[in-house]
Structures are given as structure tokens and as C-alpha cells.
Amino acid sequence: MFIRPSKGKIISGFRTKRRPNHHGIDISQSGKTDILAVANGKVSRSYTSKSYGEVIFVVHHINGQTWETVYSHLELGTRKVKVNQLVKQGQLLGYMGETGYASRQHLHFELHKGRWNINKTNAVNPVDFIES
Ligand SMILES: [Zn+2]
């Protein structure tokens, strides 16, 4: 249903024992690394946040279910899409970076079953939904 949002290794998992409030996964890869839309959808946010850094949110409607994906810490100034823009699965959104609260280059990726909310109650483990 979803493709991988980037190449690289998962360096931190979803809501682990050590990081129970980590509501996504961290994927790390060195060098210029494409960040891709995991499914067709519509950009709901594209902005710079203190914690997420340069971040893009995409809303997807798949077989009657709404999902929202979050791609954060993108390389400074590389966001390629605007709010309300339609994106295709595999479309380039930007490049992996370390903006916001990030100590090394990585993608912090979140998958929400339903819309994103501040408490992230709809977050699910992306690994369970990404086709290998
Ligand atoms: Zn993370």
C-alpha cells in the first residue's frame, strides 16, 4: 500500500522501550537522499517547525480510509511541494537533512491512520504498512 519514503537504514523504531514517545521511525542514509511520497495524496502542510525542521505532511485517501504522513528534518530549502498540491506515489518531496531537532542526517517519518493530531494518537508503526 505504501512505498518506503527513502533509502537507508532504520536507526530508531516506533515507540520503543527507550523512546515511548517516538511516534515514527528514523531512516538514515548519507549523501543526497530523495524523500518520496509513499502514496498518492494531497499536501496538507509544508513549513518549517522548531522540532520537525523543514517538514511536509501529506493526506491520503485509500479505499475509504484517510491517512496522513509526515516527512521531517528535510534539507534546508529543499521542500519541492506546496500546500494543496496533489502528489503521486514516488514523487520527490525534498531531500534528507537534519533541520529541527536532529543530531544527524535522517528522515523522521510518521504514519497516521486518520489525520495527524498534536497528541499523535493516530500514529501507527510504518514498518507494518510499508511494502518491502
Ligand atoms: Zn524520529
The values of phi and psi at residue 83, to 5°, are -55, 140
Give the chain's domains with CATH numbers.
9-117 (2.70.70.10)
Give me ligand 1 centre to Cα 72, in Å: 8
Give me ligand 1 centre to Cα 98, in Å: 11
What are the residues whose beta carbons fall under 8 Å from the beta carbon of 128, sequence distance 6 or more?
none
Percent of the chain with pLDDT over 90: 98
Q: What pLDDT, on the 0 to 100 scale, is given for residue 71?
A: 98
Q: Does residue 51 surpass a pLDDT of 90? A: yes
Task: Indicate the pLDDT class of residue 132, thresholds 50, 70 and 90.
Answer: confident
Q: What pLDDT, on the 0 to 100 scale, is given for residue 40?
A: 98
Contact at 8 Å (CB) between 51 and 103? no
Q: What pLDDT, on the 0 to 100 scale, is given for residue 55?
A: 98
Give me ligand 1 centre to Cα 100, in Å: 11
Give me ligand 1 centre to Cα 14, in Å: 8
Contact at 8 Å (CB) between 74 and 48? no
CA 24-16-114 angle, 5° bins: 35
Residue pLDDT, tens place only, 78-103: 999 999 999 999 999 999 999 999 99
- Interval 35-58 mean pLDDT: 97
Q: What pLDDT, on the 0 to 100 scale, is given for residue 131?
A: 85
